[in-house]
Amino acid sequence: MKKISFILMFVLIGIVAFAQKDPEAKQILDAMSTKMKQIPAYSADITSAMVNEVDNINEEFNGKITVKGDMYKLEMDDQVVINNGSTVWTYLPDVNEVNIDNYTPSEDEISPSKIYEAYKSGYKYMLVSPETSKNGETVAEVDLVPNDKDAQFFKIKLFISQKTKNLKGWTMFDKSGNQYEYTIKNFKTNINPKDSFFAFDTSKYPGVEVIDLR
């Protein structure tokens, strides 16, 4: 009975901790968000991995991300995703095909241009560790948990540089056991892309098949 009581106590402590918004976590998140808002545009190398330990899956992709306000362009080996805030293009180079659709974000969507402010609405957050090593850098580890129990991802883990306050990476956990890991490197802010950069130009892709889903 004592063992059960101790286990129940720790479970309840965890529930209570996440029932509130951790002020230490908020301070770190606010510092990150404030800094990112001051940057008009940036680019970075990004590594994306899908991990499922149960099914022994570990697929990794490398690419580049460019962000300007609500717009972004994500260039990976197997696809290019361009979003100008109202339209999204998904280009598949293997078949030379582009899908076009209206951008209608869901409430729990975490896009590359929104990851820095996701915590401000619909999430509880907690500082897991103030000092964790990630890729040789000291980072703060912060967990976000959605208020909506039916959200696609039940937890998002952020890694924020203690020195620069930059977001160094994040991991999203879904209910099927998949983990989507993103790592950011070579962060650059001395760029000024035109708005037209965030649109798909069919003239640059001869013979491309256009599938308009709007």
pLDDT of res. 20: 59
Q: Is the pLDDT of residue 91 over 80?
A: yes
Nearest to 159 by CA among 5, 1, 47, 11: 47
pLDDT of res. 22: 82
DSSP letter at 193 equals: -
Report yes or no on 6 lying in a domain.
no
Report yes or no on 182 lying in a domain.
yes
pLDDT, tens only, 157-167? 999 999 999 99
* Highest-confidence segment of 5-14, 85-94, 100-109, 111-120: 85-94
Report yes or no on 151 lying in a domain.
yes
Range of the domain at 58: 22-212
Report yes or no on 192 lying in a domain.
yes
Q: What is the mean pLDDT of residues 94-102?
A: 96
pLDDT, tens only, 23-66? 899 999 999 999 988 899 999 999 988 888 778 888 888 999 99
Q: Whole-angstrom Cα distance, residue 214 to residue 211?
A: 9
**Burial class (CB within 10 angstroms; exposed 0-12, middle 13-18, buried 19+) of 89:** buried
Q: Whole-angstrom Cα distance, residue 198 to residue 166?
A: 23
The SS3 of residue 31 is: helix
Asked if 118 contacts 111 with a C-beta cutoff of 8 angstroms, the reply is no
Report yes or no on 10 lying in a domain.
no
Q: Whole-angstrom Cα distance, residue 95 to residue 209?
A: 8
The SS3 of residue 166 is: coil
For the chain, report the end-to-end CA distance as a whole number of angstroms: 60
User: What is the number of domains present in the chain?
Assistant: 1
Higher confidence at residue 107 or residue 143?
Answer: 143
- The total of other beta-carbon atoms located within 10 Å of residue 206's CB is 7
pTM exceeds cut of 0.85: no
Report yes or no on 4 lying in a domain.
no
At 201, the amino acid letter reads D
Report yes or no on 187 lying in a domain.
yes
**In the predicted model, what is the mean pLDDT of the chain?**
85
Q: What is the mean pLDDT of residues 80-97?
A: 95
Kindly report which listed range (45-59, 107-121, 184-198) carries the lowest average pLDDT score: 107-121
Report yes or no on 207 lying in a domain.
yes
Q: Whole-angstrom Cα distance, residue 139 to residue 164?
A: 10
CATH number, domain containing residue 203: 2.50.20.10
Nearest to 174 by CA among 110, 129, 83: 110
Q: What is the mean pLDDT of residues 108-115?
A: 69
